[in-house]
Structure formats: structure tokens, C-alpha cells
Amino acid sequence: MREKLKALAELQKVDLEVASLRKAADVHPRQLAELERELGAARSAIEAERNRVTDIERQKSTLEQNITDEKDKVKKWEARLAEQRSTREYSALAREIDIAKKANQTMADELVELSKTLGGAREAVKGKEAEFATRQEQLSVRMTELRSKQSLAENQVKELEAKRSSVSAGVDPTLLRRYETIRKKKLPAMVGVVQGGTCLGCRMNVPPQLYNNLRVSLGTDVCPSCNRIIYAVEALETPAEK
């Protein structure tokens, strides 16, 4: 019975290592996703600034064209001014020219401010691009490290799974079936019962007779409280450990 117990204990040791590796490796995909989101947010911020620059450039171009059109119109009106025969028509056209010139000056002032805004927006883009390049380099290093750790963990799991196939072949088939059923629900699936009859899985006391049977037989049973496979811890101790 002790050999059967040792074989199962060895199998569970492998399963616990696999579970531990998988739990540790589970953080890698989440961390990678977080870094990808951070890079995506930074890219979006740059794109927003670029779109702002494009929008300001479009406004500037439209304003410049409007100024040019108004100047051309003023020139045409000024040329017609000398052709006016009546004082009334002359005054009316002169008034329109004056209004157009004032409007043109207002647009010219707006163009100056818009040019300043455009310059600031372009500098903002350069700044965000520089920040992004630096951060991207930092995150790329971190992401490479995470992918390397993830790959290493996956390879270790594969090695352990191969080892598991070999180890499980040495476990008693009946005991293995029971173990596999429990393992799907909880790990560890097999736990010891210590002096006093306390199950190390659920920390509940097993019946005294059950504990005595485990100590005498050095075999296994099932905990009435947590349904794990149980054994007396003495069964896996070497004589020197007793």
C-alpha cells in the first residue's frame, strides 16, 4: 500500500507543479494586454493631435483663401469707384469697400492667431511622438520579457505533462481514477491526516477509527468532510523521519 501511495504522491507533486506554473503564467497574457492597451491609447492620443493639426491647417487654408478673395473683390470695387457718376453710387460703393477692408483685417488678425495655434499644435504632435517612441521602446522590452517568460512556462508545462504521463502509469488504476475525479474539482486531491486526526485539506477531524485504520494500513480512504483522498502522514515518512 505504501508504494501505491508514494506513486500517487509523486503524481500529485507533478500536478501541483503544473498548476503553480499555469497560475504564475496566467498573469503574462493579462500584462501583455495591458501594455498593448497602453500603446494603443498613446497611438490614439498622437492621432488625435494629428487630426487637430489637420483641422487647423484646413481652417487656415480656408481663411487664407477668403482673405485672397476679399482682397480681389476690394481691388475690383476700387477700380469701379472712379467710374461712378453719381455721388450716391460712389458713397455706397466706398462704404462697401470700407466694410470689406475691415472684414479683411479681422480675418488677417484671425489668421495670425490661427497660425500661432497651428504652431503649438504641431509642437504638441512632435512632443507626443517623442514620448510615444520612448515609451514604445520601454514597453517593447517589457513585452519581449513577458513573451519569453510565457514561452518558458509553456515549455515547462509541456515537460511536466510528459513526465505526468510516465508517472501516472505507475499509479494503481483504481486509485488513479478516484484521484482524477477529485483533481478536476480541487487540488491537492490527496492530503495527509496528522496526529490527532486532522485532515490537512479541510482542517476537520476525521473519525478516530478512520484515522487508526489509516495508520495501521498505511493506505488511503476518503475524508468525510472534503471528499479528498486521505492518508496518515506517517505512511510517507522514512524511518528516520518518525
Assign 85 a pLDDT band (cuts: 50, 70, 90): confident
State percent of the chain over pLDDT 90: 76
**One domain, residues 141 and 185:** no
Coil, helix or strand for 194?
A: strand
Average pLDDT rounded to a whole number, residues 79-98: 87
Chain-centre distance for alpha carbon 94: 68
State yes or no: pLDDT of 239 exceeds 70. Answer: no
CA distance from start to end of the chain: 18
Residues 35-61 have pLDDT tens digits of 999 999 999 999 999 999 999 999 999
How does the average pLDDT of the chain come out, rounded?
91
Question: For the domain that residue 33 is a member of, what is the CATH number?
Answer: 1.10.287.1490
Residue where a domain stops, chosen among 168, 203, 219 = 168
199 domain residue, yes or no? yes
Residue with cell 500661432: 116
39 domain residue, yes or no? yes
Average pLDDT rounded to a whole number, residues 172-176: 94
Task: Pick the closest to residue 50 from 127, 121, 111 (CA basis).
Answer: 121
Average pLDDT rounded to a whole number, residues 204-229: 94
Task: Pick the closest to residue 51 from 112, 128, 109 (CA basis).
Answer: 128
Comparing 16-20, 85-89, 90-94, 198-202, the range with the smallest average pLDDT is 85-89
Longest dimension (CA), the chain: 132
Q: Which residue has the higher pLDDT, 85 or 99?
A: 99
State yes or no: pLDDT of 81 exceeds 90. Answer: no
**One domain, residues 164 and 177:** no
Beta bridge partners of 74: none
Average pLDDT rounded to a whole number, residues 114-124: 94
Residue where a domain stops, chosen among 168, 196, 212 = 168
- CB of 6 within 8 A of CB of 171? no
> Nine-digit cell at 21?
506554473
Cα–Cα distance, 16 to 189 (Å, whole number): 10
Q: Please report the pLDDT score of residue 164 as a whole number.
A: 94
Sequence-separated (6 or more) residues with CB below 8 Å from residue 229: 8, 175, 178, 179, 182, 189, 190, 191, 220, 221, 222, 223
Assign 200 a pLDDT band (cuts: 50, 70, 90): very high
Residue where a domain stops, chosen among 168, 195, 228 = 168
> Nine-digit cell at 238?
522514512
Task: Pick the closest to residue 168 from 152, 158, 180 (CA basis).
Answer: 180
Average pLDDT rounded to a whole number, residues 198-223: 94
Read off the pTM.
0.61
231 domain residue, yes or no? yes
214 domain residue, yes or no? yes
Cα–Cα distance, 32 to 130 (Å, whole number): 22
Assign 238 a pLDDT band (cuts: 50, 70, 90): low
Number of domains in the chain: 2
**One domain, residues 74 and 114:** yes
Instruction: Determine the structural domain holding residue 204 and report its residue range.
Output: 173-241
